[in-house]
Structure 1
């Protein structure tokens, strides 16, 4: 399983290549460390062997030099010329000259000899033959080599013919000190245990050290028979601190040659030593450990670099090769993934469409349909006991404001909640019916009818869960159990219509169709008399009476199928629409086009309570509109009458009856309204306008009263005379005379 998992996620080849690359790199790294430590050990031994050979060579050179120095010393002692300056207290000049010539010959014949001293205590003189520096006959107080006097004085502290490592300053011209091995040969000792004469041979340490060779930054030390640690190069004190000197002494205490790794002068060091020679001397070589393993470290670094390079190249090749090898496989996998994704995306739609067709068709072969359903993963079996539950979304008009995909998401969530809750007791499939409908197809488990909880409790749980989690209410209707496939379509129609009884029962109700006892539609008769009383009450402004009649009409449909309530509501809407049109035709008011005031529609409301509120508002608005329009119509009538009087006052026919005929209204109606609005009669208003015009003509023209009567609409001058005097208290002639008198100057 692990292999196939790796194979499927596209990492098989890359992991194989990575494993090989990492294994090779790891092998190189581990082997490089193993080889490093092994080679380091070998190099330590090789370095020790090399140092030991050099140190032993130095020891042998010192031994050979000692033999040569002994031979020279014996020859000098036996030389008759030199014996004179050794033993005579006052040798003559010729003897001294001959002795010095012989000393010079000895010095010239042996290049390793730095200088030869012949000491005569009686003369208190040194006869010196030297390669450089102080030479000749030197008094004790003139000798630059002060340390030789100390050696001669303490000669008992030194073994005869044993090398004495020391440094000498040859002369003031050569102030630097020279490292030499001094060989002391004395023969004559006085009664006071003091040397009477001695031959001193100084061998150059540089000549001995040439056999030692050079080995990088290492240093060679000499531990003499007095445990003094001297540098072989200059025979000076080693300059080591106490801790380092203690480490060297501890290593030198061992009799056999060997080596150890120690920390000297803050540096890890290979410390090689020789075994003590015949003089009790030991040679110690300090070689920095880094110099020994330098090449090995370089090799290790190169190996690690190669391993890292192999790892990097391997990683890159693994990635590239894996991509190359997987290119066709990835294409196939991509295509398969696309097909699987397409199948997953369409399988839901396929199942939904199959279930929709199933509940809509009436005649079908049950076995064929079952096979089709099983092939697409639908478990609903209508040949076994089943129930249908229709869920209708409450306040769907408000939900329609959501985007289409959001509404689909909410309905999908409702279906999931309902499926999860229902699956505890039933086999369930859910169908999205579009708009506000969802259908649950519930298979009742066999031999479990008595153990099932009441279906109403389960449906109530679905309602509560949807309200809690997605804030959506549901009205649910459910059918009784059935095992007959041919009843599926009829039960679907029945349960769908049952949810519409939410109109009477209210939202979030649960309707069981077998308990819903309804009268046949054919038994319903629309109450025309109640409708007429409602319309009459509306026309007369009695909205309370109209509301009571409306309630009686709608409540009378509750025991019938919902189609009866819809039909009754539509009948009322048509009647009210006709009433509004009749009001407009009679000129009582105009509602605009299209009608601003329209009767409520049944399909706009989910419950009777909401539709009743809508009709109540409609009745109140209609009443307010009629009252407002009626007041406005009376004002228009007054204006029309006044305008007619002002424009047609000269017409003798202008009268109350004439105006009523022109307005197509009764004289009683217009006179009553005019008097209510203006507090005067139409006849009085006609006379006021005519007399006003007559006064204007009397004052501005010379027309006779008869002519003025004709122009103001009176049939005779006497009638004008009578009305003029009634309204003004004077006759027309008196009014003209008075008006003329006012216009004369000084009048």
Structure 2
């Protein structure tokens, strides 16, 4: 009893110490988190204000850029310089169509007009007005018509901004700031032939800053260098006026507390505008207060529960510990005396497995060069559907792919073109070996594969984790020049080399390989010696880029549900056609038609025929117009790709869940069979053993072998409770040939031996 009490005290003291250590650390962490949370909140608010400032300045720069585009517009200049008495109606219509559509991509440009002094006419995106008619619908509340015409329309402006002013738009009241620019841009007279006037609604400006006002419940104030208000949201004018006039407030500080607000101030270096945001102190400390409450509740609750659990575990572990040790010794000794030996069968089979495994390893070693060669050929052909498949295949081929980026190149042995006799082929085979050996000595071990009888393909991965760029190209160029010189001096072998652009991921290797082929073909065509990069070859771009292998890779990745890889292929195709080519209208139409055809063929395949979204997606593909900008086509194609890949991913999840359910059911039916293994389950579900093993672990989170043991032990526990069978009989009934193995598995999972478990139930 005394010994048990000592064990009990030791357990309890250990549990209390374990509880106190994280509590002390948690308290220190709590103090630190309060300070860090406040600092992070201030930094996040400043970052959000600076981002809003950057976005607003960018929009204003677009407004000014639009006026410059109008200034160089041929239609507008013709109208400005027209001195005829009769208005050029066609010219006005053409200007409205070509010029006044600039604002469609910027909400700051939704309301602007051009005033032509010689016509005394206002052009808008939808119509033309006489100034007096325009004034009836759109006017400043504090300006009469004459003042408006004199100060806005006729006066010369040089990128002037009129501060925030009350404004009436078709009878609706609002407030706007006004950007004014006279045309031409170099006007210096008191009056100019034309003016561009942009009215920017205050709501549009404050909408860019809504994250601070809505997310934090604060206010935002923007004013120019003269103190004129440009935008105000979440506060009243009297409050911000007091703030500016209060000597206790330092406008040069980035962040400071003023009354109950944290005021953040930034100043634009471009136009002198001042951006101020106020965040209530209560909102700022909201997360810190949550942490405080949660810390006290969790710490107190954890301590109380921990003490109760410690008492329970200390008693539970101290009372039976001596008896369990005796029982374990007794069980092991009895097993030895009974000499129930099921291991002769196992040892014989294990010996055979080891022997067979060694034979397989020997065969695989002999086949390894062929496996590596096949892997490289599949990689450059773009046959892999995902990055994970590439990694698995590379591991099988014993190829290290620690680096993801690099270059693909092709080496061609000169002087053997068109020769195919036995002697020539033997000589080429020997020459390829010489080239490989020289490449190994100069550049180190690299993935290399034969490409026909007189060519080799080689992959250079980026050195020291550097991205592809000028330095890497110079390094590879130096290595290739050394290789070419070495081969010629030592063996009189002349080679040419072509290299493609760098690949960022392993899925892009095939594209770099295709570029290397183009570079080599160009080098052979112009009889260029040495090596040639793809960007050095003057390859004609008279047609669009959409090779067959790119189409096939795109279709296969979509069928596999690999949205990310499919998106990269789409981006690569459009990058080739937008950035590297200037397509004619006909070529652009053909490209869009080819891409649409790819997706329509894809939708006709069986995998998508059962989908209820088939007709909707097909209509989206058909509705893509060949006259749309390629950027818009790219965005729509990627959106359609995301929809299709999402459908495939969901379908895979359903299929995986059904397969795992079949494995569950088969295990429940066959758990008593000693020969039940993952191999038998694989036969039943008609899938590869390795595949279902990985799938079962991904879906359930446990290995199948652990699940099988759990099922058998649960059945054994039921038999121990409800029957009088011996432990040996129960072991046989749940699929164990050895009662010793059964006892060890039961103890490992349940915590006690079968005998103790049954004894506990009886007591």
TM-score range, shorter chain: 0.3 to 0.5
Normalized against structure 1, the TM-score is what?
0.33
Normalized against structure 2, the TM-score is what?
0.32
Rg bigger for which structure?
A: 1
